[in-house]
Amino acid sequence: MSECARVIISCCRIALHSCYQVLCCKDPPASCLEYDILCIGLTNAGKSTLLCQLLDENTNKVTPTSGFNIRAVQFEKAILNVKELGGGEGIRKYWSRYYQGSQGVIFVLDSASNEEDLEEARLELHCALQHPQLCTLPFLIFANHQDKLDARSIPEDCGRAGAEWKRTLWKGGNTNSRV
């Protein structure tokens, strides 16, 4: 794995830790606290690969998630139970069934996607931001595939996405295992 990929994964871990700090308003007790985090995004945005990299697992044989997948990301003082939901069109209509109990959201965006897919991602993010069970939660938008030539910059994505994205935490990165 290249040095660039390691730096990006470290930044993502820092961002997840920041989400943890937002969720916890006081010093945690000696034992590990657990938080339920939702990870959503369109198909092939890189959700599964992101989780594999956060867990220091091999990313060469990652397959798209059909349904959902729950992974525990361990930090020194917290465990983030990340519920990754498949991003296929047939699965997205069921996302809201998994929202209950979530304490934060990671929205993975393919920053190299075409205009049509970017608009579809914007609509899905807008629905999530407006949902009663998610509208008060911290959101991390991970603009993935920054290593691709046609990748948009984060400000470019934000400008196209609309005002509702402004209250979220943006993080750019790459989960391509062949960096």
The tens digit of pLDDT for each residue in 13-46 reads 776 777 676 666 555 555 789 999 999 999 999 9
Output the domain CATH number for residue 92: 3.40.50.300
| Domain-located, residue 47 | yes
Q: How far is CA 163 from CA 8, 101, 114, 123, 126, in A?
A: 26, 26, 20, 12, 10
| Position 177 in a domain | no
Domain for residue 137, yes or no?
yes
Binding site for GTP: residue ranges?
41-48, 87, 144-147
Residue with tokens 């993080």: 171
Closest by alpha carbon to 87, among 115, 135, 139, 49? 49
pLDDT of residue 175: 54
The Cα–Cα gap between 75 and 13 comes to: 9
For position 100, what pLDDT does the model report? 95
* Nearest by Cα to 105 from 37, 175, 20, 35: 37
Q: Which residues are known binding-site members?
A: 41-48, 65, 87, 144-147
Domain range enclosing 49: 3-172
Average pLDDT of span 79-89: 95
Question: Is residue 38 in a domain?
Answer: yes
Average pLDDT over residues 102-123: 92
Residue 140 above 80 pLDDT?
Answer: yes
Domain annotation covers residue 105: yes
Q: Indicate whether 29 belongs to any domain.
A: yes
- Mean pLDDT on 128-134: 95
Residues comprising the binding site for Mg(2+)?
48, 65
Residue 178 lies in a domain: no
pTM here is 0.72
Q: List the structure tokens of 27.
A: 């010093």
User: Is the pLDDT higher at 6 or at 36?
Assistant: 36
Q: Please check the confidence at residue 157 and state whether its pLDDT lies above 70.
A: no
Q: Please tell me whether residue 12 adopts helix, strand or coil conformation.
A: helix
Domain count, the chain: 1
Domain membership flag for residue 115:
yes
